Chain A
Amino acid sequence: MKIAVCVSQVPDTTTKVKIGADGKTIDPSGVTYIINPYDELAVEAALQLKEKQGGETIVLTAGRDSSKEVIKKSYAMGIEKGILIKSDIEMDSYAVARNLADVLKEINPDIIFFGKQSIDYDDSQVGLLVAEMLGLPSINVVVSLNIEGSKVTAEREIEGGKEVVEATLPAVICAQRGLNSPRYPNLKGIMQAKSKPIEERQPSYTENKIEILNMTLPKAKSKGKIVGTDVAAVGELVKLLREEAKVI
């Protein structure tokens, strides 16, 4: 079985966003970059499938040279091969998907894992765009997965419940928290990842459909009032919510 997983590099969740000099992107200084947390679940799902059914695993990412770090992280977890589609231009979800789809067409995997969204632009698009570009079925926001032969059954999270979805391989699966617990790389894995080669490709498509005009920070909230302490303040709080804030 040929198992592909697509990952991206994002600022750590503890990042305090500062607007960059261009006014359109974040200031990267002092930011720690990590593998997108949902993509880590996708890597784990790929490894578990390989361990169960055998086959080969390959990781893909599109981004700057620094994105090699997320391939190395995937290597350290156990992925065997990696491809970086190297671009210094900021690509939107559509452009990233087109580049990934072009390479994946060549690889022709039986299954492709993605995280359900990347925590930088929160687009939730790339996995499904790739599925459509390759003419494959997809199951999104997956919290449990069962593969028997070519039949995929997955549970996907929806508002207030889950859908049980069926599809046939080859297919795209987008991982949600709850699907698994990503393993920690061991020292041997980390050491081996350092020297493992990464294949580099040039982007095949660089046209963005989404133009970012500006980035702004949310309006700073003025500090509210401490109504009081302990149970004694409850009556006053309820009164304020009804009469001043008028939300109840």
Chain B
Amino acid sequence: MSKVLVFVDSRDNKIKNSGFEAASKAVNIASELGCETEALLIGSGVSSIAGSLGAYGIKKALVADDPKLEKYSTTAYSKILADACRSAGADVIILSATSMGKDISPRVSAKLEAGLAADCTEIRTEGGNIYAKRPVYAGKAFIEVKINSAVKIFSLRPNVFKPVTIDGVTTAAENVSVELTDADFSSQVKEIVVSNEKLDVTEANIVVSGGRGLKGPENFHLVEELAKVLGGSAGASRAIVDAGWRPHSEQVGQTGKTVSPSLYIAVGISGAIQHLAGMSSSKCIVAINKDKDAPIFQVADYGIVGDALEIVPALTEEFKKVLSN
């Protein structure tokens, strides 16, 4: 391998944690392969944030900084990434499997005729080759893959690769010339509607999810309050999404979102196979359910048997107490 290019996605000139995760993993892979890493930032005003990548070992950042790129465009962004890969002579592209990364990477794959291993949870190098492990069937199984094309693309599942800081590295930013025509913006974001300031369940370090055991949508606030006290996000089982209690964007499991937070608390969720697939890679799992034989207890590290409506408020209070000390 000759060079690793990492695309660091940003919104409103902010790099999310997943961007640093990708940068850090790219530096790690490049050092194992004995080659250089370059980062790419795309947006309007992104030159000002390139410096923050130094902490993760990025020495050189390419910036495509143009007012036209203020809002995301799948067509324009993927063209810039593919062009940057060609002109940098990179043969490995790393990016995060965020909504933007998932949207760009297949287009870049087609442009460069490069294989794409999506949503990887482990990457290792051996004998100059890169091997990636990625979940399939929503996490019911994993496959290890190797990419057999000249350029190889790996997207990394957010919240899995912990960014490692490296001291004493400063990032030199270099502008890449962007020649874009109207045709390159054939798909263009006009507006972003932020539903709330909460972290998405896929990004949160702590997720508290609720299910049928909450008995009704009016009790979901108990889950939200616990999540808030812990600085986490609230998720939902498919049962209560299908019942219309919660929006689909909060659903955890197969046909919903797959999460791997440090702590997952399942409240009143029995643990259907589809749900377990989506959360069983969480580092620590707590289950609260009135049925001691519920399948959720098979994957839980800790469990309490009892009524969620009584236990959750008590748990919220207890955490408030200990966290304020």
Contact = CB atoms under 8 A, between A and B. Distances in A.
A122 B110 contact: no
Nearest to B254: A13
B9 to A, nearest CB: 11
Contact of A213 (B103, B145, B196): B145
B110 A129 contact: yes
A225 interface: yes
A212 B286 CA distance: 34
Contacts of A124: 102, 106, 118-119
Contacts of B174: none
A147 interface: no
Contact of A140 (B74, B141, B281): B74
Nearest to B292: A226
Interface of B: 72, 74-75, 78, 98-100, 102-103, 105-107, 109-111, 113-119, 131, 135-149, 186-200, 202-203, 206, 230, 247-249, 251, 254-256, 258, 262-263, 273-274, 280-281, 283-286, 292, 297-307, 310-311, 314-315, 318-319, 322-323
Contacts of B262: 247
B304 A125 contact: no
A227 B302 contact: yes
Interface in A199-227: 208-218, 221, 223-227
A245 B118 contact: no
Given A141-B99, A159-B202, A229-B304, A238 B141 contact: no
A17 interface: yes
Nearest to A224: B301
5 contacts: A161-B194, A165-B187, A210-B145, A216-B142, A221-B299
Nearest to B262: A247
Interface stretch (A60-68, A79-87, A92-100, A187-195): A92-100
Contacts of A38: 255
Contacts of A123: 116, 118
B183 to A, nearest CB: 9
A10 B111 CA distance: 28
Nearest to A209: B115
A167 B110 contact: no
Given A208-B148, A229-B305, A94 B300 contact: no
Nearest to A155: B193
B141 A17 contact: yes
Given A13-B255, A132-B78, A215-B141, A227 B303 contact: yes
Contacts of A122: 118-119, 135-138, 258
Given A211-B145, A245-B302, A165 B137 contact: no
A75 to B, nearest CB: 23
B263 A241 contact: yes
A140 to B, nearest CB: 5
Interface string A107-119: 0000000000001
Given A17-B141, A233-B306, 11 more contacts: A119-B255, A125-B116, A128-B107, A137-B186, A157-B249, A160-B196, A171-B187, A209-B148, A217-B140, A218-B280, A237-B304
A228 to B, nearest CB: 6
Contact of B274 (A13, A125, A166, A168): A13
Contacts of B274: 13-14
Contacts of A233: 304, 306, 311
A37 interface: yes
B98 to A, nearest CB: 7
A97 B206 CA distance: 37
B139 to A, nearest CB: 7
B137 A120 contact: yes
B314 A226 contact: no
Given A155-B193, A248-B230, A212 B145 contact: yes
Contacts of A161: 192-196
Contacts of B138: 119, 122
A11 B252 CA distance: 19
A212 B310 contact: no
Given A164-B189, A164-B193, A215-B143, A97 B110 contact: yes
Contacts of B136: 120-122, 215
Contacts of B305: 226, 228-230
B75 A137 contact: yes
A228 B304 contact: yes
A230 B141 contact: no
B149 to A, nearest CB: 5
A3 B136 CA distance: 30
B189 A165 contact: yes
